[in-house]
Amino acid sequence: MGPAKPIATGGRKPAVLSGSIQGLRWWIGGILFASTVINYVDRQTLSLLAPYLKLEYHWSNSDYANIVIAFRVAYSVGQTLFGRLMDRIGTRRGLTFAVACYSIVSVLTSLANGFRSFTAFRFLLGAGESANWPAATKAVAEWFPKSERGLATALFDSGSSIGGAVAPFLVLGIYFRWGWRPAFAIPGTLGFIWLLAWCWLYHPPESHPRISKTELELILSDKVESEARREKKFAPRWRDLLSLPQTWGTIVAKTCTDPVWFFVTDWFPIYLVAKGIEPKSGLIAIWIPFVAADLGNFFAGGVSGYLIKRGWGVGASRKALVIFGGTGVTMLIPTVSTTNRYLITFLFALATFAYSAFSTMANVLPSDLYNSESVASVSGLSGTGAGIGTIAAFKLIGYFSDARQARATHSFDPIVIVAGLVPFVGMILVLLLVRNTQATERGFVRQI
């Protein structure tokens, strides 16, 4: 491909300084990663403290499920609304507002004093945190060419597993020393520190004062190619987007994977207790699946990028990892037949590694398929689909785990079996729905 032709930048010339930051796009990827880490530390606090809060406040599993569902309701609706907002007001302002809001809520959760107040604070936290994935996906579309989008998405998405891995040491360490209220308040302050770095570093590439000319041309090259294929520039409505099979494939990819991940993040400590393993003695069991998930993110991003550079099409490279992920999550199913914490940890690690490979591809699909003015909207729609699936799953998990308590170590068996099968079904649907169509030829959807 020849050198990129200049494209319109709203009448502004990029102010390129002599002191440009080399590899600036990866610094952008790094700060998105940090946002996701903080996002997950804040949300993991409740699930890590749940075994102790359940005893203090006499909650059943159904009570706990309802508190978590309050988060999911706000998170589900918020992803679609914030996705649209990001496409309207831009990534910088939108994510600044969202992180400020959820950091305040996280700190204020230390004032909760029972079921209703915990439910209210979790609802508000879910609303604020819902902006992270639409915003990060849009930022990746703005800052990375297609051969690097998989790895960039893996970088920010890996923050969820790193946050999940760090949270037990941070949150439980604070809890055992000072109690549960500081365990909510102290991690909540991290978002305010992050905002200082974000407001200094993030601008669109076309107007960033510290970008080099070479990097700007690399970033804009894909945009030139995409613009050349389009019949006209337009801002699709939600119903326009929902008329496309590619949109439904993107929604399915998240809807059939995220509930499994949220089962791990929100229920794994309770699952271990049901298996006779105490959270304090099983800290490694909680930690290792998150590390495996992090490795799965980078494996998928690196492999898909390598395949593209080797001449594979974008669609083929992404679908290869979807197949790997959908198949690998079935490793959850054998855990029903054991109470050995090391074997449970190993099998969950294999499953979360595979999940993350699938999840990375699910998160990168909006930036692969859609133009800039639609990326966050589609990411938000897929997040809402995932949220609805998670709400339904959590309601069922709470009901069946309570109803099957007499079965002791086997109380979660049907739940875990379904969790292992749903991503496999999602894999099949993604392969059928994500394809080139007439909308691709007209430039409304990118070729894949």
Provide the percentage of residues in the chain whose pLDDT is more than 90: 36
What pLDDT, on a 0 to 100 scale, did the predictor assign at position 16?
43
Digit-coded pLDDT (tens) for 147-160: 888 888 888 888 88
**Tokens 């494939």 found at:** 249
Query: Of 73, 118, 176, whose CA–CA distance to 388 is shortest?
Result: 73
Cβ atoms of residues 16 and 213 within 8 Å = yes
State pLDDT tens for residues 230-274: 545 556 777 888 888 999 999 999 999 989 888 887 787 778 888
Which has the higher per-residue pLDDT, 418 or 141? 418
pLDDT exceeds 60 at position 10: no
What's the pLDDT band for 96 if we cut at 50, 70, 90? very high
pLDDT level of residue 13 (50, 70, 90 thresholds): very low
388 or 11, which is more confident:
388
In angstroms and rounded to an integer, the radius of gyration of the C-alpha atoms of the chain is 21
Please choose, from the candidates 426, 162, 422, 146, the residue with its C-alpha nearest in 3D space to the C-alpha of residue 296.
Answer: 162
pLDDT of residue 432: 94
Choose among 281, 46, 284, 282: nearest CA to 180: 46
Average pLDDT over all residues of the chain: 85
Checking if the pLDDT of 411 tops 60, the result is yes
Mean pLDDT of 307-317: 89
Average of per-residue pLDDT across 64-89: 86
Neighbours of 114 (CB within 10 A): 10
More confident residue, 85 or 115: 115
Q: What DSSP string describes 26-88?
A: HHHHHHHHHHHHHHHHHHHHHHHHHHHHHHHHT--HHHHHHHHHHHHHHHHHHHHHHHHHHHH
